[in-house]
Amino acid sequence: MPRSLLEQNARFVAGEFRTHADYYQHIAVEQHPKVIWIGCADSRVSEDIITGSRPGTMFVHRNIANIVSYNDPGLMAVLEYGLLHLKIKDVIVCGHTRCGGIEAVEKGVDEYCIADWLCMAAGAKERSDRIAAARGMDAVEKLDLLAMENVRSQLGHLNRLGLIRELRRQGAELRIHGWLYRIETGKIDVLIEGETGEPTELLRQYE
Ligand SMILES: [Zn+2]
């Protein structure tokens, strides 16, 4: 497998990179990404491909179940560098359907590192349990709901970070978007509008 990746890289160099040499030479000097992307580590959710973006568009952090954890130094460094140094104004948290992390939150998991990590989705689980019970949802609907509620919950974590609160206090332009990528169709749904911070109808229907 790694060999085939290198072969595909050779095709990238000879094709896309050579065809758009000016662009790649431009971004070789310095990056000016417009978005911080916080997504799931899932192999099927490649942010560049699903949004039709070239390298240089997004500053990226991915982990299992697109979780925002205040004590994750990797994510905190991405946010600090992206917001303060790259001056990025838009942060997207993108969850997805058929997420193994979300399934593990739903079913419970014993493996210690994964279980510890997924504690950060406990709030979303409690909320989706309540809504699903009240509405008599089936297992598939409930997993989709949990994926959506997890995005809502992680946006809540982001909004409470000291760094974000301080930037807002200073009047910085900052929009935080909540999205859901549907693996079955390839479509991205907006759950929370970055401009207003308000949930769209898709999410509001569960309030
Ligand atoms: Zn996932």
- State the residue for tokens 């490649």: 46
Mean pLDDT by 10 residues, the chain (207 residues): 96 97 96 97 98 97 97 97 98 98 95 93 96 96 97 97 97 98 98 97 93
CA of 60 to the centre of ligand 1 (A): 15
Which range of residues forms the domain containing residue 147?
A: 31-204
Please indicate, yes or no, whether residues 92 and 190 belong to a single structural domain of this protein: yes
Q: Could you tell me the two tokens for 46?
A: 């490649």
Please indicate, yes or no, whether residues 13 and 37 belong to a single structural domain of this protein: no
CA of 67 to the centre of ligand 1 (A): 10
- What's the pLDDT at 174? 98
Please indicate, yes or no, whether residues 167 and 87 belong to a single structural domain of this protein: yes
- What's the pLDDT at 1? 83
Report pTM.
Answer: 0.96
Please indicate, yes or no, whether residues 174 and 95 belong to a single structural domain of this protein: yes
- What's the pLDDT at 25? 96
CA of 93 to the centre of ligand 1 (A): 12
Please indicate, yes or no, whether residues 87 and 120 belong to a single structural domain of this protein: yes
Please indicate, yes or no, whether residues 39 and 121 belong to a single structural domain of this protein: yes
Q: What is the CATH number of the domain that holds 186?
A: 3.40.1050.10
For the chain, helix (H) and strand (E) counts, in that order, are: 11, 5
Strands 175-181 and 188-192: antiparallel
Nearest to 175 by CA among 83, 95, 106: 83
- What's the pLDDT at 82? 98
CA of 158 to the centre of ligand 1 (A): 18
CA of 198 to the centre of ligand 1 (A): 23
CA of 143 to the centre of ligand 1 (A): 12
d(CA 184, CA 202): 17
d(CA 200, CA 207): 11
